């Protein structure tokens, strides 16, 4: 089998992994004069495929000869797909040649389970050592850790990679048992905890001395498949919140289930990919990470799923109508962020600009606030005729806040706007 064919098979097997970012590692193996590569703090996207997702890293599998039989996965042993395995030399060579031509920002190495988790991880470590020490490659490397690998091997990977991830796979333990019988909750969470504590230690050590060894400097991420089982959005948000709190993850990725499996409990092969739901979850994820929201504030047992027509922040605002209106000239930064139509950029601009003058609606518009939504929830220096909606019943305000972009009304395929990148 020639290299090009292998690359096609093993790239194809890796594409369902959504994570692609190359961010978070500042000048990783810094002051490079003799090798190749650098890392850019905010990550760089190199291309976008026709499904609109960015290509930042060379995302490939070490091998797709899997011994496991996870129902949702294209590489499961019972599936009839062409199989291939790379040698470490082949991966290192392609990575370097692609990197020199500026096709990619680094390597995203994942793998099916060949023989057993330890054997697979050893192959991956060999590849990374080759890249780092023989080719003197200083670019970005993201490695997927195989659940069940020994902690010694997880440690070696941590010293070589910029970012690691262990996939949660499915949002509930019940679905995991049903669809991925060989994987256990412990096998997934143990390496995550191991990396989290070692990475925190390494940060403390590196503050004392820059010579202290690096350990996963760009942090770790995870991903879960949504829509494969009957879990609700509240369960997913609680799990994400827990992962951010406990393991200090950089990102939790959601992957809308693409019907590839054949398990009787999985959605039928003709089911549409739940892209709108994925989009809502990412919007909510942003609220957790940058807006100071908690999962319990966004959803509760009475309302366990996000709305199709409203974005999560509007949903929040409508159910907490008593905390509005917000005075843009006085409210603190985090309160500003809770107003629909005010994002991180405009909230920062408001805080900076109001030191000099009392802001009017005209000022807010020029600052970049989306008044279409914000005007029902704020007071500024001049009169606001729209405030009366706050005291009326919800049914009057709700239709005014709906997503009216054709992307959400036409077909689910048109959903735009996710930024997997930064």
Partner 1 sequence: MIYIYNGSFEGLLTAIFDAYNDGEALIFKEGELLPPLLEYKKVETDMRKSLRLQSGINKKLSKIILRDIYIIYLSDYTDHGTIALKYLRFCFLKGKGARSLHFDPAVKNALTLRRKVMHEADKMLGLVRFDKTQDGVYISEIQPDHNILSLIAGHFAGRMPTHSFVIRDTRRELAICSYNGNWVLIHLPSQVKFDISKDEFRSMWKEYWNSMAIRERLNPRQQKAYMPKRYWKNLTEMQ
Q: Which is nearer to partner 1, 200 or 344 (CB)?
A: 344
> Cα–chain-centroid distance for residue 85?
27
The reply on whether position 25 binds partner 1 by CB under 8 A is no
If you ran DSSP here, which 8-state letter would residue 272 be given? P
Q: How many CB atoms lie within 10 A of CB 57?
A: 26
Q: Can you tell me which of 19, 29, 59, 233 binds partner 1, judged by CB under 8 A?
A: 59
How many angstroms separate the CA atoms of 288 and 294, rounded? Answer: 6
How many angstroms separate the CA atoms of 387 and 417, rounded? Answer: 30
Nearest distance from residue 407's CB to partner 1, in Å? 8
The reply on whether position 17 binds partner 1 by CB under 8 A is no
* Placement of tokens 């496991």 in the chain: 68
Q: Can you tell me which of 80, 102, 208, 264 binds partner 1, judged by CB under 8 A?
A: 102
The reply on whether position 290 binds partner 1 by CB under 8 A is no
DSSP annotation string for 300-350: BTTB-S--SSS-HHHHHHHHTGGG--EETTTS-HHHHHTSTT--HHHHHHH
> By CB under 8 A, what part of segment 385-404 binds partner 1?
none
Among the candidate windows 99-107, 188-196, 234-242, 322-330, which touches partner 1 by CB under 8 A? 99-107
- N- to C-terminal Cα distance for the chain? 37
Instruction: Pull the structure tokens for residue 301.
Output: 């047992």
What is the maximum alpha-carbon separation in the chain? 73
Q: Using an 8 Å Cβ cutoff, are 298 and 315 in contact?
A: yes
Q: Can you tell me which of 287, 342, 359, 378 binds partner 1, judged by CB under 8 A?
A: 359
The reply on whether position 262 binds partner 1 by CB under 8 A is no
The reply on whether position 259 binds partner 1 by CB under 8 A is yes
The reply on whether position 263 binds partner 1 by CB under 8 A is no
The reply on whether position 242 binds partner 1 by CB under 8 A is no
Nearest distance from residue 353's CB to partner 1, in Å? 6
Q: Can you tell me which of 70, 237, 275, 287 binds partner 1, judged by CB under 8 A?
A: 275
The reply on whether position 26 binds partner 1 by CB under 8 A is no
Among the candidate windows 169-177, 235-243, 254-262, 395-403, which touches partner 1 by CB under 8 A? 254-262
The reply on whether position 109 binds partner 1 by CB under 8 A is no
What is the chain's length? 422
> By CB under 8 A, what part of segment 39-58 binds partner 1?
40, 44-56, 58
Q: Using an 8 Å Cβ cutoff, are 23 and 218 in contact?
A: yes
Phi and psi at residue 60, to the nearest 5°: -140, 165
Q: Which is nearer to partner 1, 9 or 284 (CB)?
A: 9
Q: Which helix (H) or strand (E) holds 255?
A: strand 251-256
How many angstroms separate the CA atoms of 222 and 253, rounded? Answer: 6
> By CB under 8 A, what part of segment 326-355 binds partner 1?
349, 352-353, 355
> By CB under 8 A, what part of segment 132-171 binds partner 1?
139
How many angstroms separate the CA atoms of 21 and 44, rounded? Answer: 8
Three state DSSP letters for 74-143: CCCCCCCCCCCECCHHHHHHHHHHHHHCCCCCEEEEECCCCCCHHHHHHHHHHHHHHHHHHCCECCEEEE
Nearest distance from residue 296's CB to partner 1, in Å? 31
The reply on whether position 381 binds partner 1 by CB under 8 A is no
Q: Which is nearer to partner 1, 39 or 288 (CB)?
A: 39
Interface with partner 1 (CB under 8 A): 3-4, 7-8, 11-12, 15-16, 32-38, 40, 44-56, 58-59, 94, 97-98, 100-103, 105, 139, 256, 258-259, 273, 275, 349, 352-353, 355-357, 359, 362-364, 366-368, 413-417
């Amino acid at each position: 089998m020639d290299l090009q064919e292998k690359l096609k098979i093993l790239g194809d097997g890796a594409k369902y992994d959504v994570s692609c970012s190359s961010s978070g590692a500042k000048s990783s193996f810094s002051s490079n004069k003799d090798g190749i590569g650098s890392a850019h703090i905010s990550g760089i996207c190199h291309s976008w495929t026709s499904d609109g997702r960015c290509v930042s890293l060379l995302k490939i599998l070490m091998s797709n000869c899997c011994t496991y039989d996870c129902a949702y996965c294209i590489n499961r042993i019972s599936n009839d797909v062409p199989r291939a395995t790379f040698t470490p030399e082949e991966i290192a060579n392609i990575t370097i040649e692609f990197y020199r031509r500026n096709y990619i920002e680094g390597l995203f190495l994942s793998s099916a389970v060949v023989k057993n988790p330890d054997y697979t991880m050893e192959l991956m470590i060999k590849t990374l050592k080759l890249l780092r020490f023989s080719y003197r490659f200083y670019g970005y490397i993201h490695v997927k850790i195989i659940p069940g690998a020994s902690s010694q091997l997880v440690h070696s990977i941590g010293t070589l990679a910029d970012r690691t991830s262990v996939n949660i796979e499915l949002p509930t333990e019940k679905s995991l048992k049903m669809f991925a019988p060989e994987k256990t909750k412990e096998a997934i969470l143990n390496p995550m905890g191991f990396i989290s504590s070692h990475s925190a230690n390494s940060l403390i050590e590196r503050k004392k001395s820059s010579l202290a060894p690096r350990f996963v400097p760009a942090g770790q991420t995870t991903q879960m498949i949504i829509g494969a089982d009957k879990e609700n959005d509240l369960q997913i948000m609680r799990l994400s919140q827990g992962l951010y709190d406990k393991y200090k993850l950089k990102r939790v990725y959601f992957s809308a289930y693409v019907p590839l499996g054949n398990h009787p409990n999985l959605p039928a092969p003709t089911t549409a990919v739940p892209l709108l739901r994925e989009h809502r979850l990412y919007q909510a994820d942003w609220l957790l990470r940058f807006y100071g929201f908690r999962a319990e504030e966004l959803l509760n047992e009475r309302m366990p799923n996000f709305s199709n027509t409203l974005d999560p922040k509007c949903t929040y605002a409508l159910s907490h109508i008593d905390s509005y209106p917000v005075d843009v000239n006085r409210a603190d930064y985090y309160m500003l962020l809770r107003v629909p139509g005010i994002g991180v950029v405009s909230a920062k601009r408001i805080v900076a600009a109001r030191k000099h003058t009392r802001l009017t609606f005209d000022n807010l518009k020029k600052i970049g606030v989306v008044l279409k939504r914000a005007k029902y929830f704020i007071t500024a220096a001049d009169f606001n005729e729209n405030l009366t909606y706050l005291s009326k019943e919800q049914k009057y305000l709700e239709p005014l806040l709906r997503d009216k972009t054709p992307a959400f009304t036409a077909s689910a395929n048109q959903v735009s706007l996710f930024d997997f990148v930064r």
